[in-house]
Amino acid sequence: MTSTVLVTGAAGFIGMHVSRALLAEGARVIGVDNLNDYYDPRLKHARLERLHATSPDFAFVRQDIADAAAVDALFRTHRPATVVHLAAQAGVRYALSRPFSYVDSNLQGSTAVLEACRHHDVRHLVFASSSSVYGGNHKVPFSERDPVDHPVSFYAATKRANELMAHSYAHLFGLPVTMLRYFTVYGPWGRPDMAIWKFTDALLRGAPLDVYAGGTLMRDFTFGEDAARATVALMHRPPTGAHAASPDAPTTWRADAPDRSWAPFEVYNVGRSDPVSVNTLLSLLESLTGRRAIRRALGMQPGDVERTFADTRKLQAALGQLPEVALADGLERFVRWFRDYHAL
Protein backbone atom coordinates (compact mmCIF):
# COMPACT_ATOMS: atom_id res chain seq x y z
CA MET A 1 0.00 0.00 0.00
CA THR A 2 1.37 3.42 -0.98
CA SER A 3 2.17 5.59 2.03
CA THR A 4 0.50 9.01 2.18
CA VAL A 5 2.62 11.95 3.32
CA LEU A 6 1.14 15.36 3.91
CA VAL A 7 3.58 18.22 3.24
CA THR A 8 2.57 21.67 4.46
CA GLY A 9 4.23 24.54 2.65
CA ALA A 10 4.57 22.33 -0.44
CA ALA A 11 4.69 25.33 -2.79
CA GLY A 12 7.62 26.71 -0.84
CA PHE A 13 11.29 26.18 -1.63
CA ILE A 14 12.13 23.35 0.76
CA GLY A 15 8.60 22.00 0.47
CA MET A 16 8.92 21.53 -3.28
CA HIS A 17 12.23 19.67 -2.97
CA VAL A 18 10.95 17.47 -0.14
CA SER A 19 7.82 16.65 -2.13
CA ARG A 20 9.91 15.69 -5.18
CA ALA A 21 12.14 13.45 -3.06
CA LEU A 22 9.08 11.73 -1.57
CA LEU A 23 7.49 11.21 -4.99
CA ALA A 24 10.75 9.68 -6.23
CA GLU A 25 10.42 7.13 -3.41
CA GLY A 26 6.91 6.22 -4.55
CA ALA A 27 4.96 8.02 -1.83
CA ARG A 28 1.60 9.65 -2.36
CA VAL A 29 2.06 13.32 -1.47
CA ILE A 30 -0.70 15.71 -0.42
CA GLY A 31 0.72 19.22 -0.72
CA VAL A 32 -0.83 22.06 1.28
CA ASP A 33 -0.09 25.77 0.90
CA ASN A 34 -2.00 29.04 1.16
CA LEU A 35 0.02 30.62 -1.69
CA ASN A 36 0.32 33.93 0.13
CA ASP A 37 2.02 36.98 -1.37
CA TYR A 38 5.02 37.25 0.98
CA TYR A 39 6.91 36.92 -2.29
CA ASP A 40 5.69 36.58 -5.89
CA PRO A 41 3.10 33.75 -5.93
CA ARG A 42 3.99 33.03 -9.56
CA LEU A 43 7.13 31.28 -8.33
CA LYS A 44 5.00 29.15 -6.00
CA HIS A 45 2.67 28.22 -8.86
CA ALA A 46 5.69 27.31 -11.01
CA ARG A 47 6.95 24.98 -8.28
CA LEU A 48 3.54 23.33 -8.10
CA GLU A 49 3.47 22.86 -11.86
CA ARG A 50 6.81 21.08 -11.58
CA LEU A 51 5.45 18.79 -8.88
CA HIS A 52 2.33 17.93 -10.86
CA ALA A 53 4.56 17.13 -13.85
CA THR A 54 6.75 14.92 -11.68
CA SER A 55 4.11 12.39 -10.67
CA PRO A 56 0.35 11.77 -10.70
CA ASP A 57 0.76 10.84 -7.03
CA PHE A 58 1.00 14.53 -6.12
CA ALA A 59 -2.21 16.29 -5.14
CA PHE A 60 -2.47 19.92 -4.04
CA VAL A 61 -4.87 21.58 -1.62
CA ARG A 62 -4.90 25.34 -1.23
CA GLN A 63 -5.44 25.82 2.49
CA ASP A 64 -4.41 28.17 5.27
CA ILE A 65 -3.14 26.05 8.15
CA ALA A 66 -4.30 28.70 10.62
CA ASP A 67 -7.86 27.47 9.92
CA ALA A 68 -7.96 24.65 12.47
CA ALA A 69 -11.30 23.22 11.36
CA ALA A 70 -10.18 23.04 7.74
CA VAL A 71 -6.89 21.41 8.76
CA ASP A 72 -8.76 18.78 10.77
CA ALA A 73 -11.03 18.08 7.79
CA LEU A 74 -7.97 17.76 5.55
CA PHE A 75 -6.43 15.12 7.82
CA ARG A 76 -9.75 13.31 8.14
CA THR A 77 -10.07 13.14 4.35
CA HIS A 78 -6.53 12.08 3.44
CA ARG A 79 -5.43 10.15 6.55
CA PRO A 80 -1.69 10.84 6.20
CA ALA A 81 0.62 8.37 7.90
CA THR A 82 3.35 10.99 8.12
CA VAL A 83 3.35 14.79 8.11
CA VAL A 84 6.23 17.05 7.06
CA HIS A 85 5.29 20.46 8.44
CA LEU A 86 7.25 23.12 6.56
CA ALA A 87 4.62 25.86 6.27
CA ALA A 88 5.69 28.98 8.16
CA GLN A 89 6.02 32.70 7.85
CA ALA A 90 9.73 33.08 7.21
CA GLY A 91 12.07 36.05 7.26
CA VAL A 92 13.84 37.81 10.11
CA ARG A 93 13.29 41.45 9.08
CA TYR A 94 9.69 41.04 7.91
CA ALA A 95 8.72 40.28 11.52
CA LEU A 96 9.69 43.81 12.53
CA SER A 97 6.66 45.17 10.68
CA ARG A 98 4.31 42.15 10.42
CA PRO A 99 4.57 40.19 13.68
CA PHE A 100 0.98 38.95 13.59
CA SER A 101 1.58 37.07 10.35
CA TYR A 102 4.09 34.95 12.35
CA VAL A 103 1.56 34.39 15.10
CA ASP A 104 -1.06 33.27 12.58
CA SER A 105 1.15 30.84 10.67
CA ASN A 106 3.92 29.75 13.03
CA LEU A 107 1.94 29.58 16.26
CA GLN A 108 -1.76 29.20 15.46
CA GLY A 109 -1.15 27.20 12.28
CA SER A 110 1.36 24.89 13.93
CA THR A 111 -1.04 24.27 16.81
CA ALA A 112 -3.70 23.25 14.28
CA VAL A 113 -1.25 20.80 12.70
CA LEU A 114 -0.23 19.37 16.08
CA GLU A 115 -3.86 18.89 17.06
CA ALA A 116 -4.69 17.19 13.76
CA CYS A 117 -1.69 14.87 14.13
CA ARG A 118 -2.84 14.00 17.64
CA HIS A 119 -6.41 13.18 16.66
CA HIS A 120 -5.72 11.36 13.39
CA ASP A 121 -3.09 8.81 14.41
CA VAL A 122 -0.14 10.33 12.56
CA ARG A 123 2.88 8.07 13.05
CA HIS A 124 5.57 10.73 12.68
CA LEU A 125 5.61 14.53 12.47
CA VAL A 126 8.69 16.10 10.90
CA PHE A 127 8.65 19.78 11.79
CA ALA A 128 10.77 22.64 10.38
CA SER A 129 12.65 24.70 12.92
CA SER A 130 15.53 27.05 12.08
CA SER A 131 19.15 27.80 12.88
CA SER A 132 17.78 31.18 14.00
CA VAL A 133 16.86 29.62 17.35
CA TYR A 134 20.55 29.78 18.33
CA GLY A 135 20.15 33.56 18.47
CA GLY A 136 22.88 35.30 20.42
CA ASN A 137 24.96 32.17 21.06
CA HIS A 138 28.69 32.72 20.63
CA LYS A 139 29.96 29.16 21.08
CA VAL A 140 30.47 27.49 17.70
CA PRO A 141 29.64 25.21 16.10
CA PHE A 142 26.02 25.35 17.27
CA SER A 143 25.05 22.05 18.87
CA GLU A 144 21.59 20.66 19.52
CA ARG A 145 22.70 20.44 23.15
CA ASP A 146 23.33 24.19 23.43
CA PRO A 147 20.86 26.41 25.31
CA VAL A 148 18.62 28.38 22.95
CA ASP A 149 17.08 30.87 25.35
CA HIS A 150 18.07 34.17 23.73
CA PRO A 151 16.40 34.66 20.34
CA VAL A 152 17.30 37.93 18.64
CA SER A 153 14.35 38.01 16.24
CA PHE A 154 10.63 37.41 16.62
CA TYR A 155 10.82 34.80 13.85
CA ALA A 156 13.40 32.88 15.89
CA ALA A 157 11.21 33.17 18.98
CA THR A 158 8.28 31.59 17.14
CA LYS A 159 10.42 28.70 15.88
CA ARG A 160 11.76 28.05 19.38
CA ALA A 161 8.16 28.13 20.59
CA ASN A 162 7.35 25.53 17.92
CA GLU A 163 10.01 23.23 19.36
CA LEU A 164 8.57 23.54 22.85
CA MET A 165 5.00 23.10 21.63
CA ALA A 166 5.96 19.98 19.69
CA HIS A 167 7.79 18.51 22.66
CA SER A 168 4.71 18.92 24.83
CA TYR A 169 2.64 16.98 22.27
CA ALA A 170 5.30 14.28 22.06
CA HIS A 171 5.19 13.95 25.85
CA LEU A 172 1.44 14.27 26.41
CA PHE A 173 0.16 12.23 23.48
CA GLY A 174 3.08 10.03 22.41
CA LEU A 175 3.32 11.80 19.04
CA PRO A 176 6.77 11.10 17.53
CA VAL A 177 8.25 14.45 16.47
CA THR A 178 11.51 15.29 14.71
CA MET A 179 12.48 18.97 14.64
CA LEU A 180 14.90 20.12 11.92
CA ARG A 181 17.00 23.22 12.42
CA TYR A 182 17.75 24.19 8.82
CA PHE A 183 20.85 26.28 8.15
CA THR A 184 20.44 28.85 5.30
CA VAL A 185 19.01 26.61 2.61
CA TYR A 186 19.58 27.82 -0.97
CA GLY A 187 19.56 26.57 -4.54
CA PRO A 188 17.35 26.34 -7.65
CA TRP A 189 13.74 27.35 -6.97
CA GLY A 190 14.91 29.28 -3.90
CA ARG A 191 13.27 32.24 -2.19
CA PRO A 192 13.53 35.79 -3.59
CA ASP A 193 13.91 37.26 -0.10
CA MET A 194 17.16 35.37 0.50
CA ALA A 195 20.57 37.01 0.00
CA ILE A 196 21.76 34.66 -2.76
CA TRP A 197 18.72 35.46 -4.91
CA LYS A 198 19.01 39.21 -4.21
CA PHE A 199 22.74 39.27 -4.95
CA THR A 200 22.39 37.30 -8.18
CA ASP A 201 19.52 39.48 -9.36
CA ALA A 202 21.42 42.70 -8.61
CA LEU A 203 24.61 41.45 -10.27
CA LEU A 204 22.84 40.45 -13.48
CA ARG A 205 20.94 43.76 -13.62
CA GLY A 206 23.95 45.88 -12.74
CA ALA A 207 22.09 47.23 -9.72
CA PRO A 208 23.47 48.13 -6.28
CA LEU A 209 23.21 45.46 -3.59
CA ASP A 210 23.14 45.82 0.18
CA VAL A 211 26.07 44.41 2.14
CA TYR A 212 25.67 44.42 5.91
CA ALA A 213 28.45 44.72 8.49
CA GLY A 214 31.19 44.92 5.88
CA GLY A 215 30.38 41.51 4.46
CA THR A 216 31.96 39.75 7.43
CA LEU A 217 28.79 37.96 8.55
CA MET A 218 29.16 34.20 8.10
CA ARG A 219 26.54 31.64 7.16
CA ASP A 220 26.48 27.85 6.95
CA PHE A 221 24.88 27.41 3.51
CA THR A 222 22.96 24.19 2.78
CA PHE A 223 21.97 23.14 -0.74
CA GLY A 224 18.21 22.64 -1.14
CA GLU A 225 18.30 19.10 -2.49
CA ASP A 226 20.69 18.07 0.27
CA ALA A 227 18.31 19.50 2.89
CA ALA A 228 15.41 17.61 1.27
CA ARG A 229 17.31 14.31 1.26
CA ALA A 230 18.14 14.69 4.94
CA THR A 231 14.53 15.56 5.71
CA VAL A 232 13.16 12.46 3.98
CA ALA A 233 15.83 10.19 5.47
CA LEU A 234 15.00 11.41 8.98
CA MET A 235 11.29 11.02 8.22
CA HIS A 236 11.96 7.28 8.04
CA ARG A 237 13.49 7.34 11.55
CA PRO A 238 10.68 8.29 13.95
CA PRO A 239 11.97 8.77 17.48
CA THR A 240 10.89 6.21 20.04
CA GLY A 241 11.37 8.03 23.30
CA ALA A 242 13.56 5.19 24.54
CA HIS A 243 16.09 7.49 26.20
CA ALA A 244 14.33 6.98 29.53
CA ALA A 245 11.79 4.58 30.94
CA SER A 246 9.36 7.39 31.81
CA PRO A 247 9.27 11.05 32.83
CA ASP A 248 9.27 9.76 36.40
CA ALA A 249 12.76 8.32 35.96
CA PRO A 250 14.92 11.46 36.32
CA THR A 251 18.08 9.47 36.98
CA THR A 252 18.30 8.76 33.22
CA TRP A 253 18.55 12.48 32.43
CA ARG A 254 22.06 13.93 32.33
CA ALA A 255 22.99 17.58 32.67
CA ASP A 256 25.55 17.19 29.88
CA ALA A 257 22.87 15.93 27.46
CA PRO A 258 19.85 18.23 27.88
CA ASP A 259 18.60 17.46 24.37
CA ARG A 260 17.69 13.91 25.44
CA SER A 261 14.07 13.50 26.37
CA TRP A 262 11.87 10.71 27.68
CA ALA A 263 9.37 11.75 24.97
CA PRO A 264 9.56 10.51 21.35
CA PHE A 265 11.21 13.75 20.29
CA GLU A 266 14.47 14.62 18.53
CA VAL A 267 16.15 17.78 17.22
CA TYR A 268 18.69 17.79 14.37
CA ASN A 269 20.83 20.46 12.79
CA VAL A 270 20.62 20.28 8.99
CA GLY A 271 23.67 22.04 7.58
CA ARG A 272 27.11 21.47 6.06
CA SER A 273 29.20 22.66 9.00
CA ASP A 274 31.21 24.84 6.59
CA PRO A 275 30.38 28.54 7.11
CA VAL A 276 31.63 31.20 4.70
CA SER A 277 31.51 34.98 4.83
CA VAL A 278 29.21 37.15 2.76
CA ASN A 279 32.34 38.55 1.12
CA THR A 280 33.31 35.06 -0.04
CA LEU A 281 29.76 34.42 -1.21
CA LEU A 282 29.78 37.62 -3.26
CA SER A 283 33.15 36.81 -4.77
CA LEU A 284 31.86 33.43 -5.95
CA LEU A 285 28.74 34.99 -7.44
CA GLU A 286 30.79 37.67 -9.20
CA SER A 287 32.86 34.93 -10.81
CA LEU A 288 29.79 32.92 -11.85
CA THR A 289 27.90 35.88 -13.30
CA GLY A 290 30.91 37.67 -14.77
CA ARG A 291 29.74 40.88 -13.11
CA ARG A 292 31.22 43.16 -10.47
CA ALA A 293 29.11 43.95 -7.42
CA ILE A 294 28.08 47.54 -6.80
CA ARG A 295 28.11 47.50 -3.02
CA ARG A 296 25.97 49.62 -0.75
CA ALA A 297 27.47 49.36 2.73
CA LEU A 298 25.02 49.12 5.63
CA GLY A 299 25.40 48.35 9.31
CA MET A 300 24.29 45.32 11.26
CA GLN A 301 20.53 44.87 10.95
CA PRO A 302 18.09 44.27 13.82
CA GLY A 303 17.52 40.55 14.32
CA ASP A 304 20.66 39.52 12.44
CA VAL A 305 23.45 37.35 13.86
CA GLU A 306 27.18 37.38 13.23
CA ARG A 307 27.42 33.75 12.15
CA THR A 308 25.71 30.41 11.88
CA PHE A 309 27.69 27.19 12.09
CA ALA A 310 26.08 23.76 12.41
CA ASP A 311 27.47 21.00 14.56
CA THR A 312 26.39 18.06 12.37
CA ARG A 313 27.69 15.14 14.42
CA LYS A 314 24.19 14.06 15.44
CA LEU A 315 22.99 14.17 11.82
CA GLN A 316 26.04 12.19 10.71
CA ALA A 317 25.45 9.57 13.40
CA ALA A 318 21.81 9.17 12.36
CA LEU A 319 22.25 9.07 8.58
CA GLY A 320 25.86 8.08 8.01
CA GLN A 321 26.23 11.03 5.65
CA LEU A 322 25.97 14.81 5.51
CA PRO A 323 24.83 17.41 2.98
CA GLU A 324 27.48 17.10 0.29
CA VAL A 325 27.08 19.88 -2.28
CA ALA A 326 29.83 22.48 -1.80
CA LEU A 327 28.86 26.15 -1.96
CA ALA A 328 30.69 26.84 -5.24
CA ASP A 329 28.90 23.94 -6.96
CA GLY A 330 25.52 24.83 -5.49
CA LEU A 331 25.86 28.47 -6.52
CA GLU A 332 26.77 27.44 -10.06
CA ARG A 333 23.60 25.37 -10.25
CA PHE A 334 21.55 28.21 -8.79
CA VAL A 335 22.87 30.84 -11.20
CA ARG A 336 22.26 28.54 -14.14
CA TRP A 337 18.67 27.94 -12.95
CA PHE A 338 18.15 31.66 -12.25
CA ARG A 339 19.17 32.61 -15.80
CA ASP A 340 16.90 29.95 -17.24
CA TYR A 341 13.92 30.81 -15.04
CA HIS A 342 14.16 34.50 -15.96
CA ALA A 343 15.20 33.82 -19.57
CA LEU A 344 18.38 35.85 -19.15
CA distance 107 to 93: 18
Please give the span between the terminal C-alpha atoms of the chain, in angstroms, as a whole number: 45
Question: Which of 101, 110, 97, 100 lies closest to 36 in space, CA to CA?
Answer: 101
CA distance 157 to 87: 16
Question: Which of 100, 285, 313, 305 lies closest to 219 in space, CA to CA?
Answer: 305
Is residue 185 within a helix (H) or strand (E), and if so which, with residue range?
strand 185-186
Confidence band (pLDDT; 50, 70, 90) for 93? confident
Residues with Cβ within 8 Å of 197's Cβ and at least 6 positions away in sequence, in order, are 190, 191, 338
pTM of the model: 0.94
Q: Kindly state whether residue 329 falls inside one of the protein's structural domains.
A: no
Q: Kindly state whether residue 299 falls inside one of the protein's structural domains.
A: no
Cβ atoms of 336 and 329 closer than 8 Å: no
Q: Kindly state whether residue 155 falls inside one of the protein's structural domains.
A: yes
Q: Kindly state whether residue 232 falls inside one of the protein's structural domains.
A: yes
Q: Kindly state whether residue 216 falls inside one of the protein's structural domains.
A: no
Number of domains in the chain: 1
Residue 155, pLDDT > 70, answer yes
Confidence band (pLDDT; 50, 70, 90) for 136? confident
Overall size of the chain counted in residues:
344
Q: Kindly state whether residue 195 falls inside one of the protein's structural domains.
A: no
Question: Which of 294, 291, 302, 296 lies closest to 335 in space, CA to CA?
Answer: 291
Confidence band (pLDDT; 50, 70, 90) for 135? very high
Q: Kindly state whether residue 98 falls inside one of the protein's structural domains.
A: yes
Domain CATH for 228? 3.40.50.720
User: Could you report the per-residue pLDDT of 157-207, keeping only the tens digit for each?
Assistant: 999 999 999 999 999 999 999 999 999 999 999 999 999 999 999 999 999
Q: Kindly state whether residue 288 falls inside one of the protein's structural domains.
A: no
Residue 107, pLDDT > 50, answer yes
For 99, the domain range is 4-185+223-271+311-324
User: Could you report the per-residue pLDDT of 236-274, keeping only the tens digit for each?
Assistant: 999 997 654 343 433 333 435 555 678 999 999 999 999
Question: Which of 151, 154, 67 lies closest to 108 in space, CA to CA?
Answer: 67
Which sequence positions are flagged as catalytic?
A: 155
Indicate the pairing of strand 185-186 with strand 177-182.
unpaired
